[in-house]
Amino acid sequence: MKKHILPLVLIGASIILWLVSFAQLPAEMPIHWNMSGEVDGYASRFNAMLFSIGGMILIYALLVFIPRMDPKKENYKYFSKGYSIIQISTLLLFFVINILVLSAGLGFHVNTSLVIHIAIGVLFILIGNYMPQIKPNYFTGIKTPWTLNDENNWKQTHRFGGKTFIVGGILFIASIFLPHSFAETVALPVILVIILSPIAYSYFLFRKNGINIGK
């Protein structure tokens, strides 16, 4: 039960902040920014509140019920701490987004690009730090035909993936010191490398070690 306290506090705090601020929000308010920090999406204040709070609740519900639906659910107890950290970190990112949306609606000037780059970078670093602890399952981690069918491939791929996530997170945070246009340009390639390189590494291990699918 203790592992649910902080996630529920974050969701509760978001609900309270929205309810307290609702009457002061404009009829239409920004809800989305591009990588340059420019507003490119608006919604009514009610829909903004609904999507922001609803998004947190949906993510939390998914993260709670995923282990129960997984055929390999017994493995989650071996990385329960790491899974809880990933769960809390993800909700913290959504909480930060809630604060950004509310701040913009209330007329405060916030460098959204700076905040989002730091928040995503920290999330990648935290996930990368705990990724090597993740045991084989069907929902969390780097799931390829080669990791799912060979425990050694899974273990080595997640060690490698942990390093790429940490390096990617550091690069994301470091990008705030680069010229804005350049930081915007490198953001997507960094994300793609973080996601695709562990998949490629898993296939490399498969080719190198001759792992048989279905083993």
- Is residue 215 one of the residues assigned to a domain? no
Say what the pLDDT of residue 215 is: 44
Is 173 part of a structural domain of the chain? yes
Instruction: Please check whether residue 117 lies inside any domain of the structure.
Output: yes
Categorize the per-residue pLDDT at 212 as very low, low, confident or very high, splitting at 50, 70 and 90.
Answer: low
Using the predicted structure, report yes or no on whether residue 206 has a pLDDT greater than 90.
yes
Using alpha carbons, list the distances in angstroms from residue 56 to 49, 66, 134, 179: 11, 15, 23, 32
Confidence of residue 9 (pLDDT cuts 50, 70, 90): very high
Dump pLDDT digits (tens) for 133-148.
999 999 999 999 999 9
Give the DSSP H/E element, type plus range, for residue 33: strand 28-33
Tens digit of pLDDT for each residue in 33-63?
876 667 888 999 999 999 999 999 999 999 9
Please check whether residue 214 lies inside any domain of the structure: no
Residue 156 included in any domain: yes
Class of residue 129 by CB neighbours under 10 A (exposed 0-12, middle 13-18, buried 19+): middle
Number of structural domains found in the chain: 1
| Domain carrying residue 147 | 2-209
Whole-structure pTM value: 0.86
